[in-house]
Amino acid sequence: MVENILTSLGRLHPVIVHLPIGFLVLVAILDVASYKKRYTQLGNATPFVLLLGFIAAVVSCVFGFLLSRTGDYDETILVRHQVWGILLTAVAGGLYLIRAAAIQRNLNVSRSVRTALSLVILVMVVFTGHFGGSLTHGSDYLSFKSTGVNTANQISPNADRIYADIVQPILQRKCSQCHGQAKRKGGLSLESLEAMLKGGKHGPAIVPGDIKHSEMIRRIFLDPSDEDFMPSDGKTPLTAVETEILRWWVGEGSAGESLRLSSLPDTVIIRSLVDQLIEGERSQPKLTGLVPPARVDTAAIERLRNKGLVVRIVNYQRMQLDVTLPPRSGIRVSEISDDLRPLSKHVVWINLSDNGLTEDDLDVLAELTHVERVRLEKNPISDGIVEHLRNLEFLESVNLNETEVTCAGVEGLRKNPAIKRIYLWKTLCDKNN
Amino acid sequence: MTHHDPEFCLNTPDFADLHRRIDRRHFLVKTSLGLGALATSVLLQGCKRTTPAAALSATAESIGALPHFLPKAKRIVYLFMSGGPSQFETFDYKPNLVKMAGQDLPDSVRKGQRLTGMSASQAILPVAPSLFKFNQHGKSRTWVSELLPYTAGVVDDLCIVKSLYTEAINHDPAITFFQTGSQLPGRPSIGSWVTYGLGSDNENLPAFIVLVSKNAAKDQPLYARLWGNGFLPSRYQGVQFRSGSDPVLFLNNPDGYDGHDRKQMLGYLKKLNQFQMEAYQDPEIEDRIAQYEMAYRMQTSVPGVIDVSDEPDEVFDLYGPGSRDPGTFAANCILARRLLERDVKFVQLYHQGWDQHDSLPSAITRQCKETDQATAALIKDLKRRGLLEDTLVVWGGEFGRTVYSQGRLTPTNYGRDHHPRCFTMWMAGAGVKAGFSYGQTDDFSYNIVENPVHVHDFQATLMHLMGVDHERLSYKFQGRRFRLTDVHGKVVHDILA
């Protein structure tokens, strides 16, 4: 209990620490400014501000010490930060004593020495702050190599080495702030494969080939409201594509360090995942991985609705749509194809059952690249439908009940590896007949 | 996503209107631009409704755009076994009870927990093992009682939760708790919450429909408030279909009237109602307008749904005896399937008669005969039609029953009292694990030893499967925001597929 309170207080360190920074910087500013005639009287305020700065620094030191006991940080940088912090506090305290004494005329220290000491404190604040920043943000946070977007974390369109070119950049941008070289929350670093295998407090982050026992995979797939969900504390979560890539790499890829895309068979799912990742980065460099885009053509939705279709947004995060053509609507697909096209990346469920449709009406299906469930039952559809569905890589479920498809057509459909369920009740390929 | 985005209110225009009305700015412009225009377009164009991309009030914004995330289930059919089915004769197999048969329930099991007034004064609480045999079924090797042979046949599709518990010990508070999240009457039913939040997928039928079996022992009453809208607008209450050959009365025009000017008549009636609305701003008037319009559309849509003459014999055989007799549980299951096929969002069946304080063996045998085959048939039928993947089927009562016999225990007869501390329910279909059992009770099925699931947890999970965060769907009434799960409820992630 007491331990928890102390740790929580420690977590306030990064907040509290800005108080002494402010006060001590202000001391230097006041000292320098008071050289100007207009601001001479400001010099009188410095001892008081200095005292505030000193007290705040002491409190920060105590909180910082509490935080350091969690052991989530890189030792070397931590020690430097500690030494500089304590030294800074001591110097600030010393300077205050000198000043206070000077006021009482017991000590005669020239003004320029006092100002010089304030500037020394300023420099010390910078150093201490720099080490502190390195602890939380990583030591290369301020390096000049990265201007704006961190190009090192960008995934190149020519990415080939799965671990080095794809997995590490994902980890770098989403995880390394807390699980890096400098800061190791829960004792875990994801900087290297070795470190991941070694893991942290809750065991190894990954177990090659065994996603069930890979703590990292488990946590990124949890519901965001779950306590164990990673990244924690509302930090930007991994995108669906990123989580799938990590899962593939640990599971199917057995966390191989030398796997190369170019040496894997064409059919493997990781290819399309990486394509999506790269596609997402190229089209939206700032919002990586948002596939499909989060805005949707609302006018097209309105047009479909006005024609009598039921269109519902089933996922606002990705603007995914559920589209139903009411049964026996009398509407021909050709009348709605032009309105479906602008929504092609958004339609995830579509129901066109019982509308007298044949495969010749349904060319537009092949363009609905993100569709997951297609319902076509009770239509006079035959095997030609397979052509439209063969390349839909997210298609999970196809309902062909009461259509005219044959087993030959179904064979063709099964070549799409994404499809998990095909309904064939009352067709020529119904197993029960 | 804020209320300024045009996508925000695309799903639930009703929902949007409602909050616009509360919003003061819109209140002021109401007389010139209000709901009337929207409602007119509904009446004149049927489902070809246009949605004004208008602003929503802050209330709606705090609830968020619904659904909150991609739902697993598009529809729900909830088979409510009213009265409290015994877990001992159905799914919670307790073989060790045979050794203890007739002995007084050990204090170490009951731990001094209170009993109901109906059995608290019994001199002895004799342990009563199930008279019925259990067998393992399916690939999941799940134990199911011989009373449920058909359900046993689909056990690999079920997600059985043996560790439900509730706080209520009597029927009405317990059912009210299950249906509304509160033991006291007055809150909206789950179906009302769901349709209020998510709107309708078929504007020609009510989104929340209730069917009550006519062939059940009416040992405990049901009240319409169990599917009532509570403080939600009344258009979200469950619409009960009558249990008989004429589920919705007065669909046909009376003799001598051909109905061709009815639309005109309703148009005038609405104008009158709108005058009233403008004068008094009573939201119930709008609900009345909406219900007139729904009734008008139902004249066309309902006959096609309830006319089962297009069902082949094979279907009636599948659902079993009674399925040709409208209003029975089996016939209601067929009707439920037909409603679900038409994207009715929430279909709730009730089957009474599970309150077996005495003569349990004979009564429960009859109950199971009336429901087992049709229940399993519903699952099979939905599955082959491809509907089980986005339909959630729920089976369960309001509480369980005691391990001890209420009244005399004889070799062939016993009764069981109410038992809220543990009981069994199952779900099947969209988003739940199939062929899976969750939670465990002690050897006496008296207390839960593993993975307890509270009624609020069940409700939270149900909402989750529909894409609703139960903590965010709320409604402000009498100065307080209410939700289905009050301040409780945790989604049971372990049973989600």
Return the pLDDT at A226: 82
Q: Looking at the structure, tell me whether residues A225 and A323 fall in a common domain.
A: no
Return the pLDDT at A336: 93
Residues of A in contact with B1 (CB under 8 A): 316
pLDDT score of B382 more than 90: yes
pLDDT-derived band of residue A433, with 50, 70 and 90 as boundaries?
low
Return the pLDDT at B370: 96
**Any domain includes A146:** no
What's the pTM value of the predicted model, to 2 decimals?
0.67
**Any domain includes B344:** yes
Residues of A in contact with B70 (CB under 8 A): 314-315, 318, 320, 348
pLDDT score of B17 more than 80: no
Q: What percent of chain A has pLDDT over 90?
A: 37
Q: Nearest chain A Cα to B390, which residue?
A: A373
Return the pLDDT at B61: 44
Q: How far is CA A76 from CA A12, A70, A196, in A?
A: 22, 15, 21
Question: Å from B7 to nearest chain A CA?
Answer: 7
Question: Å from B384 to nearest chain A CA?
Answer: 6
**Any domain includes A352:** yes
The total number of structural domains in chain B stands at 1
DSSP string, B76-110: EEEEEETT---STTTT---TTHHHHTTSBPPHHHH
Return the pLDDT at B55: 31
Return the pLDDT at A142: 67
pLDDT score of B435 more than 60: yes
pLDDT, mean of residues A290-297? 57
Return the pLDDT at B227: 97
Return the pLDDT at B66: 83
Q: Out of A325-339, B32-46, B222-236, which region has the weakest mean confidence (pLDDT)?
A: B32-46
* Cα Rg, chain B, nearest whole Å: 24
Residue A247, Cα to own-chain centre: how many angstroms? 15
Determine, for residues A399 and B384 on separate chains, whether the beta-carbon distance falls below 8 Å.
no
Return the pLDDT at B184: 96
Q: Looking at the structure, tell me whether residues A194 and A69 fall in a common domain.
A: no
Residues of B in contact with A301 (CB under 8 A): 10
Q: Looking at the structure, tell me whether residues A24 and A131 fall in a common domain.
A: yes
Return the pLDDT at B60: 45
Return the pLDDT at A144: 58
Q: Looking at the structure, tell me whether residues A384 and A268 fall in a common domain.
A: no
A312 touches chain B (CB under 8 A): yes
Q: Out of A313-327, A386-400, B203-217, which region has the weakest mean confidence (pLDDT)?
A: A313-327
pLDDT, mean of residues A57-67? 91
Residue B470 backbone phi and psi in degrees, to 5: -60, -20
Return the pLDDT at B404: 97
pLDDT-derived band of residue A347, with 50, 70 and 90 as boundaries?
very high
Q: Looking at the structure, tell me whether residues A107 and A6 fall in a common domain.
A: yes
A302 touches chain B (CB under 8 A): yes
pLDDT score of B245 more than 90: no
Q: Out of A25-34, A295-304, B182-191, B339-348, which region has the weakest mean confidence (pLDDT)?
A: A295-304
**Any domain includes B209:** yes
- Best of A316, A343, A351, A352 to substitute, by most chain B Cβ atoms within 10 angstroms, is A316
Q: Nearest chain A Cα to B467, which residue?
A: A314
**Any domain includes B48:** no
Mean pLDDT for chain B? 88
pLDDT, mean of residues B270-289? 91
Return the pLDDT at A251: 83
B7 → closest Cβ in A223, A305, A319: A319
**Any domain includes B23:** no
pLDDT score of B2 more than 80: no
DSSP string, A331-350: --HHHHHHHHGGGTTTEEEE
Structural domain boundaries enclosing B449:
75-249+301-495
pLDDT, mean of residues B318-323? 95
pLDDT score of A1 more than 80: no
- Best of A222, A312, A335, A370 to substitute, by most chain B Cβ atoms within 10 angstroms, is A312
pLDDT-derived band of residue B3, with 50, 70 and 90 as boundaries?
low
Strands B436-438, B158-165: pairing is parallel
Name the DSSP class of B425: E
**Any domain includes A288:** no
> Are the beta carbons of A65 and A57 closer than 8 angstroms?
no
CATH number for B187: 3.40.720.10
Strands B440-441, B448-450: pairing is antiparallel
Under an 8 Å CB criterion, which residues of B touch A? 1, 6-7, 10-11, 47-51, 53, 65, 67-71, 74, 199, 201-202, 343, 384-386, 389-390, 467, 491, 493
**Any domain includes B400:** yes
Task: Count other C-beta atoms under 10 Å from residue B152's C-beta.
Answer: 23
pLDDT score of A75 more than 60: yes
Q: Looking at the structure, tell me whether residues A316 and A381 fall in a common domain.
A: yes
Residues of A in contact with B491 (CB under 8 A): 223, 225
| Closest of A417, A420, A413, A416 to residue A429, by C-alpha | A413
**Any domain includes B14:** no
pLDDT in tens, A81-95: 999 999 999 999 988
Q: Looking at the structure, tell me whether residues A155 and A133 fall in a common domain.
A: no
The total number of structural domains in chain A stands at 3
> Are the beta carbons of B133 and B450 closer than 8 angstroms?
no
Compare B151 and B40 and report the one with higher pLDDT: B151
Determine, for residues B7 and A421 on separate chains, whether the beta-carbon distance falls below 8 Å.
no
Return the pLDDT at B30: 42
**Any domain includes B8:** no
pLDDT score of A377 more than 80: yes
Determine, for residues B201 and A307 on separate chains, whether the beta-carbon distance falls below 8 Å.
no
pLDDT in tens, B49-72: 333 323 333 344 456 678 888 999
pLDDT score of B6 more than 60: no
**Any domain includes A431:** no
**Any domain includes A429:** no
Return the pLDDT at B154: 98
Return the pLDDT at A46: 86
Q: Looking at the structure, tell me whether residues A375 and A307 fall in a common domain.
A: yes
pLDDT-derived band of residue B385, with 50, 70 and 90 as boundaries?
very high
**Domain boundary residue among A104, A137, A170?**
A137
pLDDT, mean of residues A145-149? 41
pLDDT score of B253 more than 50: yes
Determine, for residues A298 and B71 on separate chains, whether the beta-carbon distance falls below 8 Å.
no
pLDDT in tens, A189-199: 888 888 888 88
Q: Out of A236-245, B178-187, B478-487, which region has the weakest mean confidence (pLDDT)?
A: A236-245
Question: Residue A164 corresponds to which amino acid?
Answer: A
Return the pLDDT at B58: 37
pLDDT score of B160 more than 70: yes
Report the first-to-last Cα separation within chain B, whole angstroms: 28
pLDDT score of B336 more than 90: yes
> Are the beta carbons of A178 and A172 closer than 8 angstroms?
no
Q: Looking at the structure, tell me whether residues A412 and A336 fall in a common domain.
A: yes
Residues of B in contact with A295 (CB under 8 A): 7
Q: How far is CA A71 from CA A7, A66, A185, in A?
A: 11, 10, 8
**Any domain includes B324:** yes
DSSP string, B323-374: TTSTTSHHHHHHHHHHHHHTT-SEEEEEE-----SS-HHHHHHHHHHHHHHH
pLDDT, mean of residues B36-45? 40
CA atoms within 13 A on the CB side of A173: 22
CATH number for A409: 3.80.10.10
Q: Out of B100-109, B138-147, B281-290, B390-399, which region has the weakest mean confidence (pLDDT)?
A: B281-290
**Any domain includes A111:** yes
Return the pLDDT at A432: 66
Residues of A in contact with B71 (CB under 8 A): 314
Structural domain boundaries enclosing A375:
298-423
Q: Looking at the structure, tell me whether residues A163 and A272 fall in a common domain.
A: yes
Q: What CA–CA distance (Å, rounded) separates B414 from B488? A: 37
Name the DSSP class of A212: G
**Any domain includes A118:** yes
